[in-house]
Structure 1
Amino acid sequence: MRTMLRQTITYKTTSYPSIYRWVALLIVSTAAFLSVVDLFIVNVALPSIREGIHGTNGDSQMVIALYLLGHAIFLITGGRFGDYYGHKKVFIWSMLLFTVASVCCAAAQNATQLNIARLLQGTFAAFMVPQSIAYIQFLFPEHHERAKALGIYGAIAGIASVLGQYLGGLLPEIQSAISGWRWLFLVNLPAGLLSAAAAAYWLKAPATKINGRPDYSGVLKLSLGLIALIYPLIRGRELGWPLWSVLLLPLSFVLLAWFIRDQYYKQKKGKQSLIDLQLFHNRSFNTGLMTATAYFIAQDSYFLINTVLLQTGIGLSPSSTGNYFVIQGVGYVVAAIFSIRLTVRYGKAVLQAGVLLMLTMLLVHILIMETAPADALLSATAYRQVFLAVLFLYGMGCGSVLPSLLTITLKKIPTHLASTAAGAYVTFQQISIALGVCITGGLFFQFLGAHPSLAQWLTAYRWATGANMFFLLVVAAALSVKKD
């Protein structure tokens, strides 16, 4: 069966000049950069967005939810479209459409227009991201260089998450003829156009092709299953878990089981399928997915609870909150620069050390919040200086882990499965973000009443951060598993 399926793929390994490969890496990495920035840039700016569109709290929450939904649903589909229609073509068109959707977000006059544009923005991001990872597999066939390239790609995505938080606090405060919050989306216009132009000029189309038509029925089945899973995870907690959200979750498993059975049947009969299930026979890939899932549950919910605590609980401005995350970002960049090379040499030990540092700093986070006066972080006190140092070290822990997660997950994936593997990896990442908001975020808000006292804020923060520490322990355990 596997032989029959692979005969539909023509693949040729090409030797690319070194300068071409590294420039191409920077070009395709813009997909990860822009998609991650646009996930995080609205977090800090939600109050400004809500005021600008005259919306409700539910409207502003949907700004995040619909982007996540569109992104998660179509990642695997986006990867397969690259296999059928060409990675270069799909990359350029999805980048241009992502840019158009960003402009539509900036031009939105009400909540409905903005949220439709955000759904489209997330969808087009889902088509451009898998192409970039597939390009890395083609450009760097040697394991040593591929590990370094994937590490750089992961580092760029991590930097984007921190930069997004910073810009989300800074841009809404811009005083101009255009409302400040609209700049959150307009910054994508020059970046998207330059990326598409550079890709059209510089990138070469990889020598891969799959004959036939995409598995559109598989796209429909997978999309229905993911919608039923992700949407209630994102919206259920905010709405108090209405009956429809409770019923959709078990239904999602039925739909996803239907999709898997359908894919198995098609592969057995030699028909075109959306995803090659042989991918999940790779133990290294499966363990990497488990590691990444636990990591992203902890990491992305960390930004949520700390942003809410610093702004609403302690009273920092959006720009001040963003500045705190910049300090963390500096630590991330410093560690990422060294960890990319160290991971190639020392392997998982670098990631394990990073997880240990993150666990230690989360414990110190709790101690600082428990012992600091209520307004200590608002002024230049010793508490504030210690907190900045803790954020820097926590960022170093992240920088030691995140850039290499993608590397250890995809390192043994054959090149012809690169797009599908990339789509599956980022799909699990997006589901993990939703789970983090649901589990850790839900635990955090569970301890807050309508008008929480400082004690309630600290109790909520303690429990939520403890949950994140548990998931990081899962990461540490997964990293200790011996892979094939």
Structure 2
Amino acid sequence: MGRISSKWWALLIVSTAVFLAVIDIFIVNVALPSIQTGLHSTEADIQLVIAAYLLGYAAFLITAGRMGDYFGKKRVFITGILAFTLTSCLCGMAQTATQLNIARFLQGISAALMIPQSIAYIHVLFPVHEERIKALGIYGSIAGTASVIGQFLGGIIPEVHWLMDGWRWIFLINLPIGILAAILATRRLTDTNRQQESHFDTSGVLLLTATLSCLVYPLIHGRELGWPLWAIAMLLTAFLLLGVFIRHQYKKGKNAQQPLINLQLFRFRDFNIALGAVLFYFMVQDSYFLINTVMLQNGLGYSSGLTGLLFVYQGVGYVLASLLAIKLMKRFGKKVLQVGVLIMTAALIGHTWLFNADLQPGISLYLLLFVYGMGCGSVLPGLLTLSLKSIPASYAGAASGTYTTFQQTAVALGIGITGGIFFWALHDQHTTIAYLSAYHTATWLNVAFLLIVSVLLYCLPED
């Protein structure tokens, strides 16, 4: 792959993928109230701004990884970068909430094209184990940094009204980054060998997409419309489609084809327990930002800039703890995650105590957000490691793809369930007291989810 220095240049290029994919989650979180105002959209619409992106990402992630094997990682990576750039522009130019959410779904698919290739390139560029660990650490640090930058920019950019509504720039800033990354990738990345024996489970992708859509869409819009018959029918259809999807995957695996998800993975008890922990943890992860953003801006009247700045404290705590947790995991194993969940739980209880009508930015709020970020950073880096611990090496790739698909789906469910409970408890009463009551209800639900995570982590074997 050329000189040593060229490896690290290539690493920075492929890391653009995770930078863009992560920043576009966190930058949107803080900007949601500005988007809602700019497009005159409903509360369900802004939930879908997050969920649509995650559904596109989750449904196409595994297939995108196989596309890299079949067509070549360089070609698929560049295609993903360019598609992400284009769909970002479509998001920025959307005139209605429906247009924005369709563009966000396509943007999620584009992110799915980029991410598997970037991770695979690290394994190609750094065959030596020690160098690979260092490269993965840098890759993870870039993702963590993107989350902090995204939260800050998501607050600042909507306040800059230049030529158009400020919130549109949170998407359009991807344009120069994406074009530059595509040019550098064209010039500096070496293509990989193609595996023409790879197969695509197109029917599996369509079934999974339909299942997730029928589950998440009515969860979000059904509440707002008073649970009409079509919403209930879609939820029932989602469970029927899930059964069809499982049977479809089982048949493909039995016939020695390549299913989207290898059901053999679910024979491992520890993997199932870990996936349960992943489900409830990630239901909390992004719904936290949704309800806090709406609470601070719409409920307490904070500006988007101040809200973004506050979340930076949370992001800094996350980055610092994640760097420390990687080292501590080697010695203490799952205990690091258990302590992290305990910290998150205590911090959320602290949120319900501190958040009141007179809440002002100060040391107590900064410290509380920082501590919550420390808890998140203690859990997240070790979840994947813990989930794959009992999986044989031959299943590692399939398990990793399944884990990520499960993770993104869980985040979308959290937006639908916890976010839905928040807006349901609000009852369209846009007073500070109503927002506080709804916020406390939704936050206690997240506390319950974290307690379930604690129980599931306890059920996993000691190291």
Provide TM-score, normalisation by structure 1.
0.84
**Mapping of 1:90-129 within 5 angstroms?**
90-129=76-115
CA shift in 2, pair 1:56/1:348, >3 Å = closer
Q: What per-residue deviation string (whole Å, max 9, x for no partner) do you get for residues 318-354 of structure 1?
A: 1111110011111112212222222233322222222
Question: What is the alpha-carbon distance in structure 2 between the residues aligned to residue 124 and residue 284 of structure 1?
Answer: 32
Q: Which residue of 2 aligns with 1:445?
A: 423
Q: How many residues align?
A: 462
- Equivalent residue, structure 2, for 1:187: 173
Mark the CA change 1:24 to 1:360 in structure 2 (over 3 Å): closer, same or farther. Answer: farther
Q: Determine the C-alpha separation between the residues in 2 that align with 1:260 and 1:17.
A: 47
For 1:275-314, list aligned pairs within 5 A: 275-314=261-300
Equivalent position to 2:305, from 288, 302, 319: 319
Structure-2 residue corresponding to 1:330: 316
Equivalent residues of 1:289, 1:428 under 8 A apart: yes
- Per-residue deviation, residues 387-431 of structure 1 (Å, max 9, x unmatched): 111111111111111223233334566677565444322221222
Alignment partner of 1:369 is 2:355? yes
The one of 229, 237, 258 aligned to 1:243: 229
In 1, are the aligned partners of 2:43 and 2:423 still within 8 Å (CA)?
no
1:10 — aligned with what?
none
Cα RMSD after superposing both structures: 3.1
1:231 aligns with 2:217: yes
Q: Distance in 2 between the 1:300 and 1:276 partners? A: 27
Query: In structure 2, do the counterparts of structure 1 residues 33 and 290 end up closer, same or farther at CA, with 3 Å as the change threshold?
Result: farther
Aligned pair 1:385/2:363, yes or no? yes
Higher mean alpha-carbon deviation, 442-451 vs 18-27, is at: 18-27
> Does the residue aligned with 1:237 lie in a helix, a strand or coil?
helix
Q: Is the 8 A contact 1:79 1:420 kept in 2?
A: no
Q: Distance in 2 between matches of 1:141 and 1:52?
A: 49
| SS of equivalent residue, structure 2 residue 21 | helix
Q: 1:191 to 1:408 in 2, by over 3 A?
A: farther
**In the alignment, residue 77 of structure 1 is paired with which amino acid?**
T
Amino acid of the structure 1 residue aligned with 2:333: G
What is the alpha-carbon distance in structure 2 between the residues aligned to residue 316 and residue 282 of structure 1? 47
1:406 corresponds to which residue?
Answer: 384
- Indicate how the Cα distance of structure 1 residues 350 and 60 shifts in structure 2: closer, same or farther if over 3 A, else same: closer
Match among 458, 463, 469 for residue 441 of structure 2: 463
Deviation at 1:296, TM superposition (A): 0.9
Match of 1:86 among 55, 63, 72: 72
> Structure 2 counterpart of 1:464, which letter?
A
Instruction: From the superposition, tell whether residues 90 and 255 of structure 1 become closer, same or farther in structure 2 (CA, over 3 Å).
Output: same
Q: What residue is the counterpart of 2:413 in the other structure?
A: 435
Whether the 8 Å contact between 2:33 and 2:297 is mirrored in structure 1 is no
Match of 2:248 in 1: 262
Stretch of structure 1 that moved more, 18-27 or 217-226: 18-27
- Counterpart of 1:482 in structure 2 is 461
Matches within 5 A, 1:122-161: 122-136=108-122, 153-161=139-147
The one of 350, 371, 375 equivalent to 1:397 is 375
Stretches of structure 1 that go unaligned for 5 or more consecutive residues are 1-14, 379-383
Report the AA paired with residue 220 of structure 2: I
Name the amino acid aligned to 1:125: A
- Distance in 1, matches of 2:342 and 2:401, equals 29
TM-superposed deviation, 1:100: 1.3
Report the equivalent of 1:356.
Answer: 342
Q: Deviation of residue 211 (structure 1)? A: 0.9
Task: State whether residues 355 and 398 of structure 1, in contact with CA within 8 Å, keep that contact through their aligned partners in structure 2.
Answer: yes
Distance 1:84 1:472 in 2: 40
Whole-angstrom CA distance in 1 between matches of 2:64 and 2:288 = 29
CA distance in 2, matches of 1:344, 1:147: 14
1:23-82 deviation per Cα after TM superposition (whole angstroms, max 9, x unaligned): 555443332331222223223323433444465655555433432332232223223322
Q: 1: distance between equivalents of 2:272 and 2:125? A: 24
Task: Judge conservation of contact 1:133–1:422 (CA < 8 Å) in 2.
Answer: no
Q: CA deviation at 1:475?
A: 2.0
Secondary structure of 1:211 counterpart: coil
Distance 2:238 2:33 in 1: 32
CA offset at residue 465 of structure 1?
A: 1.6
* Structure 1 SS opposite 2:355: helix
Classify 1:173/1:436 alpha carbon distance in 2 versus 1 (closer, same or farther; 3 Å).
Answer: same
Between the two proteins, what is the percent identity of the paired residues?
55
Cα distance in 2 for partners of 1:341, 1:427 equals 26
